[in-house]
Structure 1
Amino acid sequence: MIRVAVVGTGGISASHLQAYLDFPQRCTVVALVDVFPERAQARRREFGLEGAGVHTSHRELLERGDVDLVSVCSPPSTHEEVSVDLLRAGVNVLCEKPMAPSLAACDAILRAEREGGAVFSSVAQNRFRDDVVRLKAALDSGLAGPVSHVQVDSAWWRGLGYYDLWWRGTWAEEGGGCTLNHAVHHVDLLLWLLGAPRSVTAALTNAAHENAEVEDLSVAVLAYERALATITSSVVSHGERQRIVVQGRRASVALDGEVVAELAQPNGFPAPEGDTELAGRLRALAAAHRPLAHTGHRGQVDDVLTALETGCRPAVDGHDGRRTIELITAIYRAGIERRTVDLPLSGDDPYARPGTLAERAPRFFAKSASVTDLAGSISVPGSGAGIGAGR
C-alpha cells in the first residue's frame, strides 16, 4: 500500500485527492499539508479523510517518516524547495504544473531525484486523454504527411478576482502569467506531438487584468526546420474555445477530431470533394482507438502508482517538465527583449537563473489585492477540446 500526502490543499488538490481515492487497493492518503491549516482541515472533511494528519510544513512529512508519495499542489514558487527536500529524503513526488519557475530550479529537482533515488513526475494530465492520444496516433501514422503548421489556442477566461489570490498575479510568486500557468498544458502537448522548435518569437501584454503584474495574453511563433507553430496563451478569451490543429502536407487533423484532406486541381486550387480516401483512413484510425482505462489526473496517478509498483519510469518525468519550462522561458525572453530566441537555451542563459524573469519582466499593473482563499469551484472549458484546469 502506497502512503500518500498532498502538499497544498487549494483548488487543484481536489483532483489529486479524488484520483488517489479511486485506487483504494493501491494507495491511502495519510497526510495533508497547508500553510493555512483550516483549509487542510476542510479538505479532510470534504473527502472523508479522518485518519489523515494535518501539517503546516512539508518538513513535518519528513519527520513522520511514513510517506511514500507526495502530490505537490502548492504555489509554483514553492515547487523547487518542496520537491528537492522530499526527493533527497527518498520520497517520490508528483508535482503540479509548472514544474518550477526557472530552468535552474528544474535542474535542482532533477539532481535531487538522482541523489535520493526517488521518482519525480511532472503533472501533464492531458496526455492521458482519449482525444489527445488519438491526435498523436494520427501524427505518428504519417498519413497526414510532413507537418507544415500547427495552430494552438490555449484560450481561457478569468475575471479580475482570479488574481486577488495572494500568490497569483506577481512574477515572484506565480512565476508568470497565462503563458506559464495556463498554456503550460498546451506547450507540453505541442512538444509531445511535434518535438522542440529551433527558435521562437513572441509578444506579451496585459489586456484586461489591471490587478496583476503578469501577462494575460501572449502570442508566440515557433520555427521548426520547415514548419511553423503558433501558440496563443490567453485568459481573456470568452467561451474558452481551445484548439490544436495540425496542418500536414496531405491532410489536417485537429484535437476535436476534424479531418480535412484536400486534392489539387491542375490549376492548384482545391478539388470540390477532396481526398475522401485519405480522410476515411484517418477517421478509421481514430475510430480504432481503444479508450483509456483512466484519464486526466486519474490517468497520471495510475501511471505514477504503476511506476512505483513495478520500478519503471513514469510516462511523464522531470525531463518532460523541464523541456516545457525551457520553451516557456524562451517565449518570455523573446517577448520581453522583442527578438528571436534560439533553442535549446544555452547553459549560461540569464533567464535560466532564478530571479531573472522577475527582475526583467514588465509590471503591466500593480497587484491590488491579496486574499488567502477564493470562493467558487475550478471550472474546465465545456468543449471536448478543453485542456486541463487552471489552479
Structure 2
Amino acid sequence: MLKIGIIGTGGIARTHIDGYRRFPAECEVVALCDIAPGRADAVRAELGLPAARTYERAEDLLAAEDLDLVSIATPPSTHAELTITALRAGVDVLVEKPMAPSLEECDAMLAAAAENDRILSVVAQNRFRDDLATLKEVLDSGLIGPVSHAQVSSAWWRGTAYYDLWWRGTWESEGGGCTLNHAIHHLDLTSWMLGAPSAVTAVLTNAAHENSEVEDLSVAVLQYDRALAEVTSSVVHHGEEQAIVVQGRHARVSQPWQVVADVAEPNGFPAPGGDPGRVAAIEALAAAHTPLAHEGHAGQIGDVLGAVRERRRPAVDGTAGRRAIELVTAVYVAGIERRTVDLPLSADDPYYRAGTLVQRAPRFFEKTTAVADLPGEITVGASSAGDD
C-alpha cells in the first residue's frame, strides 16, 4: 500500500485526492499540508480523511511521514522549491501544472530527480482523455498525411474576481497569465501530438481583467518544418469552446470530433463527396480505440502509481513538463520582445533564468485586490480540456 501526501489543499487538491481514492487497494492518503492555518484540517474533515495527519510546513510533513509519493498542488511559484525538497527527502513527486515558471527551475527539478533516483511526473491530465488519445492515435497512424496546419484553441473564461486570489494576477507569484496557467494544457497536447516547433512568434494583451498584471489573451504561431500551428490562449472566451483542428495533406481531423478528406478535380478544385474511403479508414481507427480505465487526473495518477511500484518512467515525466514550459517561455519572449524566437532556448538566454520574466514582462494593470481565498468550487465549460 503506497502512502501518499498532499502538499497544498486548495481546489485542485480535491481532484488529486479523488484520483487517489479510485485506487483504494493500491494507495492511501495519509497526510495533508497547507501553509494556511486550519485549512488542511478543514479539508480532512470535509473529505472524510480522519486518519490523515495534517501539517503547515512541507518540511515537517516530509520529516515525520514515511511517504512513497507526494502530490504538490500549490501556486506555480512554489513548485520548484517544494518538488526539490521532496525529491531530496527520497519521495517521488507528482507536481501540478505548470511545472515551474522558468526553465532554470525545471532543470533544477530534473537534476534533483536524477541525483536522488526519484520519479518526477508533471500533471498533464488531458493526455488521459479518450477523445484526445483517439486524436493522437489517428495522427500517429499517418492516415491524414503530413501535417500542414493546426488550430489550437485554449479558450477559457474567467471573471475579474478570479484574479482577486492573492497569488493570481502577478508575474512573481503566478508566473504568468493564461498562456502559462491555462494554455499549458493545450501547449502540452500540441507538443505531444505534433512534436517540438523550430520557432515561435506571438502577441500578448490584457483585454478584460483590470485587476491583473498578466496577460489574459495571447496568440502564437508555431513553425514546424513545413507546417504552422496557431495557438490561442485565453480567459476572455465566453462558452469556453475549445478545439484542436489538424489539417493534413490527405484529411482534416479534430476534437470535437470531425473528419473531412478532400480530393481534387482535374482543375484542382475539391471534388464533390471527397474521399469516403479515407474518411471510413479514419473513423474505423477511431472506433477501435480502447477506452481508458480512468480519465483525467485519475488516469494520470493510476499511471504514476504504477511507475512508483515498478520503478519505471511515468507516461508524463519531468522532461515532458519542461517541454511545455519551453513553449510557454518562447511565447512570452516573442510577445515581450516582439520578435521570432528560435527553439530550443539555450541556457544562456536571459529568459531561461528565474526572475527575468518578472523583470521584463509588461504590467498590463496593477493588481489591487488580494484575498486569502475565494468562495465556490472550480467550474469549467462543458467542452473544456482541463481545470484551474
Q: TM-score, length-normalised on structure 2? A: 0.99
* Partner residue, 1:162: 162
The aligned counterpart of 2:141 is 141
AA matched with 1:314: P
Q: Secondary structure at the match of 1:28?
A: strand
42-51 or 141-150: bigger deviation:
42-51
Q: Name the SS for the 2:149 alignment partner.
A: strand
Q: Does the 8 A contact of 1:69 with 1:91 survive in 2?
A: yes
Amino acid at match of 1:83: T
1:14 to 2:14 alignment: yes
**Using the alignment, how far apart are the partners of 1:320 and 1:231 within structure 2?**
18
SS in 2 for 1:12: helix
Match of 1:182 in 2: 182
User: Aligned partner of 2:386: which letter?
Assistant: G
For residue 362 of structure 1, give the secondary structure of its aligned residue in structure 2. Answer: coil
Q: For residue 389 of structure 1, what is the aligned residue in structure 2? A: 387
Give the C-alpha shift of residue 39 in structure 1: 2.0
Q: How does 1:67-86 map to 2 (within 5 A)?
A: 67-86=67-86
Structure 2 residue 54 is matched with structure 1 residue 58? no
The Cα shift of 1:65 comes to 3.6
Name the SS for the 1:6 alignment partner. strand
CA distance in 2, matches of 1:360, 1:334: 12
Aligned to 1:113: 113
Deviations 1:345-385 (A, max 9, x none): 012010010100010000000001101111111112202xx
Provide the C-alpha distance between the structure 2 equivalents of 1:277 and 1:142, rounded to a whole number of angstroms: 15
Q: Structure 1 stretch 30-39 or stretch 360-369: which is displaced more?
A: 30-39
The residue correspondences of 1:229-240 to structure 2 (distance < 5 A) are: 229-240=229-240
State the shift of 1:173 in Å.
0.2
- 1:283 alignment partner AA: E
Q: Distance in 2 between matches of 1:346 and 1:55?
A: 39
| 2:253 aligned partner, one-letter code | V
**Equivalences, count:** 388
Conservation of the 8 A alpha-carbon contact between 1:126 and 1:388: yes
Shift of 1:109: 0.3
- Say whether 1:97 aligns with 2:123: no
**C-alpha contact (below 8 Å) 1:61/1:67 kept by paired residues:** no
Q: Residue 37 of structure 1 aligns to a residue in which SS?
A: coil
Note the C-alpha offset of 1:230. 0.4
Identity of aligned residues (%): 63
Does 2:326 correspond to 1:330? no
The residue aligned with 2:259 is 259
| Cα shift readout 1:23-65 (whole Å, capped 9, x = no counterpart) | 1111111111111132212211121101111111110122114
Partner in structure 1 of residue 298 of structure 2:
298
Secondary structure in structure 2 of the residue aligned to 1:32: strand
Task: Give yes or no for contact 1:68–1:92 (8 Å, CA) kept in 2.
Answer: yes
> Which structure 2 residue ranges, 5 or more long, are not aligned?
none
Measure, in 2, the Cα distance between the counterparts of 1:181 and 1:17: 21
Report whether the alignment pairs 1:346 with 2:346. Answer: yes
- The 5 A counterparts of 1:283-294 are 283-294=283-294
Instruction: Look up the equivalent residue of 2:165 and give its one-letter code.
Output: L
Deviation at 1:146, TM superposition (A): 0.2
| Residue of structure 1 equivalent to 2:42 | 42
Letter in 1 for 2:175: G
Equivalent-residue separation in structure 1 for 2:385 and 2:40 (angstroms):
27
Q: Which residue of 2 aligns with 1:314?
A: 314
Kept in 2: contact 1:83–1:93 (CA 8 A): yes
Q: Shift of residue 111 of structure 1? A: 0.7
Deviations 1:107-126 (CA, angstroms, capped at 9, x unpaired) = 00001101111111000010
The match for 2:193 is: 193
CA distance in 2, matches of 1:134, 1:127: 10
Q: Deviations over 1:203-262 (max 9, x none)?
A: 000000000000000000000000000000000000000000000000000021100000
Q: Name the residue aligned to 1:365.
A: 365
Deviations 1:76-103 (A, max 9, x none): 0000100001101111100000000000
- CA-based RMSD of the aligned residues comes to 0.7
Contact 1:37 / 1:54 at 8 angstroms: preserved in 2? no
Distance (whole Å) between structure 1 residues aligned to residue 376 and residue 266 of structure 2: 58
Cα distance in 2 between the residues matched to 1:293 and 1:380:
23
Please give the alpha-carbon distance, in whole angstroms, between the structure 2 residues aligned to 1:11 and 1:114: 30
Give the aligned residue type for 2:372.
T
Q: Which amino acid aligns with 2:2?
A: I
Q: Contact conserved, 1:35 with 1:57, CA < 8 A, in 2?
A: yes
Query: In the aligned structure 2, how far is the partner of 1:284 from the partner of 1:39?
Result: 50
Cross-structure match for 1:153:
153
8 Å Cα contact 1:9/1:40 also seen in 2: yes
Corresponding position of 2:203: 203
